[in-house]
Structure 1
């Protein structure tokens, strides 16, 4: 959804699996401590921007889901004297009703 890994969001860097270290992947071969420090500092500077982008994507996703759900909902206005379900815990807050009693009336 955000095109970033959870590790990247939490720690600002991608995780390396042990196989990558033993097999001498390009990430390991071309590793430089100085470049790594510079890269991490740059990522820290961009972290707030990455979080904002992720928050925007999440908000857009939630709006799409909400629109999809609301398309299928038929609103019905409540009229005085109409029948509605009433939660029994609100009617009897003492909880004297049994475990197998209905939750709605």
Structure 2
């Protein structure tokens, strides 16, 4: 329980104090001291097992999340299209406006999933683009 991991003792609810239960009624001061020292000895093991359960849960969540991920990479020289943003698209075109623009070539790989682009005329764009904003163009 989270309470026992933090405070190294089990929680006792007020109704157990007023109406004695078997767990609370059979407890004497000496037995309580023995149980407290025993729980202090095992608190490290309890925390370690909780940490192991938490790590396995995180791994299973990550495995489930990453199950359907498609890793896309581009090489230098690949032809790509760039996504059109709201501020650069023609507002008068309506719903038939293009979602992808230009024909660009990958000039260099900047980082993990970031690419520097170059127009077909040889002009290098001033900022790198993330792969989620690019679509590979096949000739």
Q: In structure 1, what is the equivalent of residue 50 of structure 2?
A: 54
Greater strand content: 2
Q: TM-score, normalised by structure 1?
A: 0.68
Offset, 1:79: 4.2
- Say how many residue pairs are matched: 84
Indicate the structure (1 or 2) with the bigger Cα radius of gyration: 2
Once residues 44 and 74 of structure 1 are traced to their aligned partners in structure 2, the CA distance between those partners, rounded to angstroms, is 48
Q: Kindly indicate whether structure 1 or structure 2 has the higher relative contact order, using CA contacts under 8 Å at least 6 residues apart.
A: 1
Once residues 57 and 30 of structure 1 are traced to their aligned partners in structure 2, the CA distance between those partners, rounded to angstroms, is 32
Q: TM-score, normalised by structure 2?
A: 0.53
Q: Which moved further from structure 2: 52-61 or 75-84?
A: 75-84
What CA RMSD, in Å, does the superposition of the two structures yield over aligned residues? 2.4
Unaligned 5+ runs, structure 2: 86-113, 115-126, 128-139
Q: In structure 2, what is the equivalent of residue 97 of structure 1?
A: none
Offset, 1:17: 1.0
Greater helix content: 1
Out of 73, 79, 83, the position equivalent to 1:77 is 73
